[in-house]
């Protein structure tokens, strides 16, 4: 795992600024503290930070092909690189290292831009074609690894994190107003935009080519097919198929020249990953990492302990206090160079730091909910699309449902893509407009709605795969883990398993009106019943409790009249009203933004 950076001056006579490239590389030091490397091509420079996991001795980047006509910097892991290497050897290619990075370069030499279709793994990469004077960038299908880019002052720059781009001496930090409205609408900024003007995210499953003309050409190379294959398996056969795919996904992700651990929460997803690891590693050699909280209502460490005991793995558990969680907030703001209001990043940072003390790689259960219907909203969509609820008068719903459920069902007449957002929207359209004076739109949702190739409630999975997964959940996982120089691998987001899951009818995933029913049935074969049957909690923290008392008063100082007016972005009267309302989710979104702009908005 690594971090990558680059500067490409469009004027072939102009030398790129090496000091700026070094500053960009320095900004992402945490992504690869083991080694750094640079390529100097006159008007182009590439940088790399390396966290050595495969081929520890000879995999230093940048890497050239045999005739030095191509050079690559790469962030990620390719799980099928050994198979690809053997194919390339038979075609006459010669290798100097045993790294997956060099395999990608030779595959590009053989197949050009289509090489990315053969890569099984997580990645962002950049290849400079020295003869053609053309730069090629690509990102993995689901967006596990990030890649940001910008064009300004007749140059192209890129980096694994926004902070890399901000470190270029000539880059001006200006907020993109439409992205600002999206942050308050969603709690994050959906791709391809970023919170900064000029900075773009390369979309998952896309590649970009650019030459000295300065025109960035972007193409999609991967798309999920959500046209389900009705009854293509019997129930038992389907469960066995999922187990087979999941075992393969876990096995691939154990490839490393360093120890591999696992995050264990006590839930179904991480429990199944841990159970599958035992097929390939002795349980006594598996290190499982869990954290707990002193606030008992938010602590699930007893379940994690129970699962670890039944599976026979080495269990490492650390309990954190309210003080510990509050103390990590400044670190989180350092990590988040773009505001993202998922409070579970705080415990994710603590867990990553805890695991990173012992291992360089850990598997996690991310993706189980998105692929196998783990969220209540999927059941709500399913009911509205298929059952009698849709025929009831909307005024009745407030009597039977509360909170998000009530809001969701009372908007049942809206398009699914709009209804789906009600589960994550911190603010309404009207509230955002009052807060920042900009009326947000759903143009990104509308675009994906038109692209959807399935039908009915399956669109909720498609939208999450396109927006919420890469721009919220995977951002949280990547930034929290890489800040601790820890690589996270997600078997549930394996390409083949994801393709299989997309074709499974929703009624199979929600059998007996239970979320994640397929995985629950599978989990019964491996995990204690307490873990299988527990309601979904997530990795939340007690924000509402924090905002009370002395600590709360201290936290809320950043939302004072003086600070809000000095910053000049938010309407203080609206902020004051929201603070008085006591809505913890809305207050957290405001807090993150104010902390973020204090840290990152100054030029």
- Which residues are documented as binding site for L-glutamine? 100
Cβ(555)–Cβ(546) below 8 Å: yes
Query: Residues forming the annotated binding site?
Result: 100, 291, 364-365
Q: CB under 8 Å to 15, separation ≥6 — which residues?
A: 9, 42, 43
DSSP state of 471: I
Tokens of 1: 């795992």
Q: What is the dihedral of CA 209, 211, 216, 220, to 10 degrees?
A: -10
Binding positions for ATP are 291, 364-365
CB 389 within 8 A of CB 383: yes
Residue that is written with structure tokens 């939208």 in the block: 463
Structure tokens at 104: 């990608």
The pair of three-digit structure tokens given for residue 446, joined into one six-digit string: 């509308």
Tokens 């950076």 sit at which residue? Answer: 5
Contacts 24+ apart (CB under 8 A), 469-473: 469/142, 469/143, 469/367, 469/370, 470/142, 470/143, 470/144, 470/191, 470/204, 471/143, 471/188, 471/189, 471/190, 471/191, 471/201, 472/186, 472/187, 472/188, 472/340, 472/342, 472/424, 473/342, 473/366, 473/370
In contact, 116 and 221? CB cutoff 8 Å: yes
- The residue among 276, 158, 153 whose CA lies nearest residue 210 is 158
Distance CA 181, CA 187 (A): 10
Burial class (CB in 10 A: 0-12, 13-18, 19+), 577: middle
Question: Catalytic residue positions?
Answer: 2
């Amino acid at each position: 795992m690594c971090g990558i950076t680059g500067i490409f001056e469009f004027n072939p006579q102009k030398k790129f600024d090496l000091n700026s490239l070094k500053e960009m590389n320095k900004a992402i030091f945490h992504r690869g503290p083991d080694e750094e490397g640079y390529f100097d091509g006159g008007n182009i420079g590439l940088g790399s930070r390396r966290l050595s996991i495969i081929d520890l001795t000879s995999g230093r980047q940048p890497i050239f092909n045999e005739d030095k006509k191509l050079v690559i910097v790469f962030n990620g892991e390719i799980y099928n690189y050994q198979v690809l290497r053997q194919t390339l050897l038979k075609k006459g290619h010669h290798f100097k290292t045993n790294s997956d990075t060099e395999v990608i370069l030779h595959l590009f030499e053989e197949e050009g831009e289509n090489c990315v279709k053969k890569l099984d793994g997580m990645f962002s990469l950049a290849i400079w074609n020295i003869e053609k004077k053309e730069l090629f960038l690509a990102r993995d299908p689901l967006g596990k690894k990030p890649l940001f880019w910008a064009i300004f002052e007749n140059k192209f720059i890129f980096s694994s994190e926004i902070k890399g781009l901000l470190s270029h001496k000539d880059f001006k930090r200006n907020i993109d107003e439409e992205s600002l409205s999206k942050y308050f609408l969603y709690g994050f900024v959906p791709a391809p935009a970023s919170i900064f003007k000029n900075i773009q995210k390369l979309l998952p499953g896309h590649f970009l080519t650019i030459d000295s003309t300065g025109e960035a050409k972007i193409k999609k190379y991967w798309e999920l097919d959500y046209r389900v294959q009705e009854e293509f398996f019997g129930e038992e056969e389907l469960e066995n198929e999922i187990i087979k795919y999941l075992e393969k996904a876990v096995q691939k992700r154990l490839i490393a020249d360093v120890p591999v651990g696992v995050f264990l929460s006590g839930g179904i997803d991480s429990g199944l990953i841990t159970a599958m690891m035992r097929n390939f590693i002795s349980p006594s050699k598996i290190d499982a990492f869990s954290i707990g909280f002193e606030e008992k209502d938010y602590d699930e460490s007893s379940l994690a302990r129970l699962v670890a005991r039944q599976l026979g793995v080495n269990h490492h558990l650390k309990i954190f206090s309210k003080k510990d969680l509050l103390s990590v907030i400044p670190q989180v703001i350092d990590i988040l160079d773009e505001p993202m209001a998922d409070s579970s990043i705080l415990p994710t940072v603590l867990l990553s730091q805890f695991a990173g003390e012992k291992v360089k790689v850990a598997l996690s259960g991310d993706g189980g909910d998105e692929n196998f219907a783990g969220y209540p909203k999927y059941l709500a969509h399913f009911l509205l699309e298929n059952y009698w609820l849709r025929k009831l008068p909307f005024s009745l719903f407030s009597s039977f449902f509360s909170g998000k459920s009530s809001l969701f069902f009372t908007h049942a007449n809206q398009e699914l893509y709009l209804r789906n957002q009600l589960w994550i929207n911190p603010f309404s359209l009207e509230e955002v407009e009052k807060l920042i004076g900009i009326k947000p739109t759903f143009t990104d949702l509308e675009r994906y709605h038109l692209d959807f190739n399935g039908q009915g409630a399956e669109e909720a999975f498609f939208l999450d795969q396109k927006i919420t997964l890469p721009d919220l959940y995977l951002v949280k996982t990547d930034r929290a883990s890489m800040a601790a120089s820890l690589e996270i691998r997600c078997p549930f987001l394996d390409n083949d398993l994801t393709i299989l899951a997309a074709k499974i009818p929703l009624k199979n995933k929600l059998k007996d009106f239970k979320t994640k029913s397929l995985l629950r049935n599978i989990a019964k074969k491996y995990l204690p019943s307490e873990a299988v049957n527990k309601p979904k909690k997530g990795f939340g923290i007690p924000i509402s409790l924090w905002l009370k008392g002395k600590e709360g008063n201290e936290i809320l100082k950043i939302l004072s009249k003086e600070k809000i007016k000095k910053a000049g972005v938010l309407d203080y009267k609206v902020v004051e009203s929201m603070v008085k309302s006591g809505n913890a989710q809305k207050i957290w979104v405001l807090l993150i933004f104010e902390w973020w702009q204090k840290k990152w908005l100054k030029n």
